[in-house]
Chain A
């Protein structure tokens, strides 16, 4: 160890090596603290989705991926429109509506013809707070997939694809688009089939461009997909510290109280998009229709009814969403957020749980599907923005709990396709 000495104002003298060791450990500790903070409180915002995900959302409300104008986040993209001389800019707006293919939003696009020129729309990878254009390696992905809904005019000659040093595109007509069918139609582009494309050096991971086309159309659910399949996962986490744990518990103070939320929540992670007809459901799996809750382990006959709620955000939160479960009574007999209105069904986010033995597939088991997470019993669904990890909170009616008994439930969360 070097035996030199350093002296700072207000400090005693230390050997150089000793001082450097202190600083090194201190810096490492601070760095890890920052990482931990980001990990816990921004919930995977730190992740590089391009590296991690099998389904990479470029414009998706169900799958993690790129975020527009995300500053220094790795998955930062911006969208651009452009035009040639004498040619009008394409009009591309985000529209909210439950006729979206996925979630609540879609792009409404309009291009119009002129005597000369060209125009287009793209997503561009950028980096840093100044949104400097950059390129990224997307060679791990095999397909670019999106939905288009032709509305007016002719979309056949519009070209779609990616940009490396130049645009690498195919015409929509080559993707089997039926111009006269005004419904959402799936387009799948095999990335490696794009002529001369260099997927390791992509500037625009999605673009369309056109010359002389006049058309209006909608776009939604734009994703990159790997050929390998991703995964579906459920993690139990403590509400208190958001750390993973192995079981769901209720606080002892819940005894003999009406509806009480559990001390943990389930965090869902979906990175598979094999087909759009998917849904995630939740049941108790206690072996009988009547056992739709916590069941006493001694006799197996005493049941404390359970309920669930799914949220895109952690609860409770600054938006006023609470974990207080209130009962509306007549006429709706619904469970609502105690911090909200008892009369507006929008605030009936709690669903009575059913047991898988019932074998049904009603809305009371539906957590999440392509429309988004299931907001309330009134049938509302909500799309999500990165990071997309819906959280499922559980509740139980402990009013009839009997002292000295242990109650237990098996919870099953199922990803299903139709």
Chain B
């Protein structure tokens, strides 16, 4: 290797470093959007107003414009006009945000005299698309308003089914909300022997997603696996007791079912 050769190598090394530098810049141009808070829950009186704000942050390495769009979302139908634009108001529908900065986006809720139960809507914050861009990202957050003094809490278990799968038996619970406000139920399924004397297994249903006014929601998950030694059910008759809770109310449903030698399940 001679001196000229080394100079050539230095030249290429510099080129490589330059290219790698560019790749780093490109590769690290990760960025995104954030909105706070994620959920707004308000309980207020009819004929009142509420003012709030979202904090929207641009973590892109360039300025962006955030476009705000409202969408109707599970408002109780007993309200004569369910249009979210009737009660939820933003000053503007577009907000420019410099790179790396946050802005406050104020909003106002006006609860009118004729509103009852719950009114709710979704607010979409999306990054305005530039020419030639194919992918848009958006964050969608709900606002729930309960009109104080008009709540009706009423729900029931529409069905409880057990379904055989290749891995075991799954439960499927359908909870029906006959009230006018949403709720987030939790529950428990207890499996007893046929005389209901021995508790064999307990399955918990966590409080997670809401059941909206006048809607049903399906909750499902594994009841038992096929592994008899672990938690599977032998051939025989059983009793299942389902308890669903929300607010201070608990409702109970009981069913009997049989498990065949092959692990198939039949409810009665």
Q: Which residues of chain A have a CB within 8 Å of any CB of chain B?
A: 11-12, 14, 18, 21-22, 25-26, 28-29, 32-33, 35-36, 39-40, 97-99, 101, 149, 181-184, 229-236, 243-244, 246-248, 266, 269, 272, 274-278, 285, 370, 408-418
Contacts and interface: CB of A to CB of B under 8 A. Distances in A.
Given A28-B17, A29-B17, A99-B221, A247 B132 contact: yes
16 contacts: A21-B10, A29-B17, A36-B23, A36-B24, A98-B221, A182-B188, A183-B204, A229-B55, A231-B31, A232-B34, A233-B137, A246-B133, A408-B134, A412-B126, A414-B137, A416-B139
B38 interface: yes
A126 to B, nearest CB: 28
Contacts of B205: 183
A370 B208 CA distance: 10
A415 B27 contact: no
B116 interface: no
B5 to A, nearest CB: 9
A36 B136 CA distance: 28
B30 A410 contact: no
A411 B33 contact: no
Given A22-B6, A29-B13, A32-B24, 18 more contacts: A12-B1, A21-B10, A33-B20, A99-B222, A182-B204, A184-B204, A229-B35, A235-B30, A248-B135, A272-B34, A410-B129, A410-B134, A410-B135, A414-B124, A416-B122, A416-B139, A417-B141, A418-B142
Contacts of B251: none
Interface in B184-202: 186-188, 202
B186 A232 contact: no
Contacts of A417: 38-39, 140-142
Q: Which of B13, B59, B133, B186 has the most CB of A within 10 A?
A: B13
A29 B9 CA distance: 11
Contacts of B106: none
Contact of B27 (A18, A99, A244, A274): A244
Given A230-B34, A412-B138, A416-B140, A277 B20 contact: no
Interface in B90-143: 122, 124, 126, 129, 132-142
A99 B203 contact: yes
Contact of A275 (B9, B39, B135, B139): B39
B176 interface: no
Given A26-B13, A269-B30, A274 B36 contact: yes
Interface in B1-46: 1-3, 6, 9-10, 13-14, 16-17, 20-21, 23-24, 26-27, 29-39
A234 B137 contact: yes
B32 A247 contact: no
Contact of B9 (A22, A184, A412): A22
B177 to A, nearest CB: 14
B134 A231 contact: no
B149 interface: no
Summarize A's interface: helix, strand, loop or mixed.
mixed
A418 B210 contact: yes
A277 B228 CA distance: 34
A25 B29 CA distance: 26
Given A99-B204, A233-B31, A32 B139 contact: no
Interface string B158-179: 0000000000000000000000
A233 B59 contact: yes
A236 B222 CA distance: 36
A366 to B, nearest CB: 12
Contact of B139 (A97, A370, A415): A415
A183 B207 contact: yes
Nearest to B38: A274
Q: Which of A231, A234, A235 has the most CB of B within 10 A?
A: A231
Contacts of A25: 10, 13-14, 17
A418 B17 contact: no
Given A272-B34, A415-B139, A247 B133 contact: yes
A233 B33 contact: yes
Contacts of B139: 232, 414-416
Interface string B226-255: 000000000000000000000000000000
Nearest to A181: B186
Contacts of B16: 29, 32-33
Contacts of B55: 229
Contacts of B27: 39-40, 243-244
What 5 A-B pairs come out closest when comparing CB atoms?
A233-B32, A274-B38, A231-B32, A416-B140, A184-B206
Contacts of A232: 32-34, 137, 139
Contacts of B34: 229-232, 272
Contacts of B20: 29, 32-33, 36
Q: Which of B36, B39, B134 has the most CB of A within 10 A?
A: B134
Given A231-B59, A243-B27, A277-B208, A18 B188 contact: no
Contacts of B32: 231-234, 269
B206 A32 contact: no
B57 A229 contact: yes
B30 A233 contact: yes
Nearest to B130: A246
Contact of A276 (B3, B33, B208): B208
B125 to A, nearest CB: 10
A411 B204 contact: no
Contacts of B35: 229
B164 to A, nearest CB: 14
Contacts of B141: 416-417
A32 B17 contact: yes
Nearest to B205: A183
A247 B134 contact: yes
B169 to A, nearest CB: 12
